[in-house]
């Protein structure tokens, strides 16, 4: 196993713009870098099942439960579309200054976990990473699994912490209500675009099952 190549590939995958990066920046914009940590931790937890699926069980799952990925993708599509409509229809006019139910640690943790868990594109990413870094999958070994988890989850947490830092720096500048509403609407359009892309993914999965 090429650990250096594994880390480089994981960092590249995490830096690629996607639902996790968008959700992290948005969370940091709304609640600040410190509270965004819980969201980032949730992302890592939500990513973990996909790691094991990619490493040990993707082909088995495709044979034994062919509709599993479709169900997860459909749930992710619905969630992204919901977020998009919420941002467009009910944009904020101010950023929260204190922790409430929506911005509580547990709520942000769950949101982060669901964003990554409901994205089936995570599995193909890890399949590419496994092949690129020559991660052995012919036999189970805790040492190999531990290194793989450490590199992938460490890269995700590191990159998303960087995105949270960027969002927090922008947050300091967002004091005008009009600007905040404009940012919310742009984020809403991005979430809708991701929802449409996820819908296309669901269609492809359904077509592949016929």
Percent of the chain with pLDDT over 90: 13
Place 137 in a pLDDT band, splitting at 50, 70 and 90: low
Q: What is the mean pLDDT of residues 14-31?
A: 80
| Cβ-proximal residues to 23 (8 Å cutoff; 6+ apart), any chain | 39, 43, 111, 112, 115
Residue entry with tokens 């939500």: 46
- Which residue would you say has higher pLDDT here, 149 or 179? 149
- Which residue would you say has higher pLDDT here, 194 or 131? 194
The overall average pLDDT reported for the chain is 78
Place 69 in a pLDDT band, splitting at 50, 70 and 90: low
Q: What is the mean pLDDT of residues 72-85?
A: 79
Note whether 68 and 60 are within 8 A (CB). no
Q: What is the mean pLDDT of residues 61-66?
A: 62
Note whether 149 and 48 are within 8 A (CB). yes
Predicted local confidence at residue 100, as pLDDT: 43
Query: How far apart (Å, rounded) are the C-alpha atoms in residues 24 and 76?
Result: 16
Residue 188 has pLDDT above 50, yes or no: yes
Note whether 42 and 113 are within 8 A (CB). yes
0.75 surpassed by pTM:
no
For the segment 23-61, what is each residue's pLDDT rounded down to a tens digit?
A: 888 888 888 888 899 999 999 999 998 888 887 765 565
Residue 102 has pLDDT above 60, yes or no: no
How many of the other CB atoms lie within 10 Å of CB of 165?
15
Nearest alpha carbon to residue 23 among 90, 107, 97: 107
């Amino acid at each position: 196993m090429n650990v250096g190549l594994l880390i480089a590939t994981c960092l590249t995958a995490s830096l690629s713009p996607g639902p996790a990066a968008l959700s992290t920046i948005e969370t940091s914009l709304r609640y600040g870098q410190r509270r965004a940590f819980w969201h980032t931790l949730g992302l890592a937890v939500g990513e973990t099942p996909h790691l094991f699926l990619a490493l040990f069980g993707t082909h088995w799952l495709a044979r034994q439960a062919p509709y599993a990925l479709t169900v997860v993708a459909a749930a992710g599509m619905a969630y992204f579309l919901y977020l998009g409509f919420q941002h467009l229809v009910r944009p904020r006019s101010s950023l929260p200054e204190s922790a409430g139910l929506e911005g509580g640690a547990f709520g942000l943790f769950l949101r982060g976990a669901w964003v990554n868990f409901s994205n089936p594109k995570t599995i193909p990413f890890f399949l590419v990473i496994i092949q690129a870094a020559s991660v052995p999958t012919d036999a189970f070994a805790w040492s190999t699994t531990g290194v793989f988890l450490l590199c992938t989850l460490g890269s995700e947490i590191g990159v998303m912490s960087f995105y949270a830092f960027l969002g927090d720096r922008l947050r300091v500048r967002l004091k005008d209500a009009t600007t905040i509403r404009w940012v919310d609407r742009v984020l809403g359009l991005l979430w809708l675009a991701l929802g449409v892309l996820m819908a296309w993914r669901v269609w492809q999965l359904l077509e592949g099952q016929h």
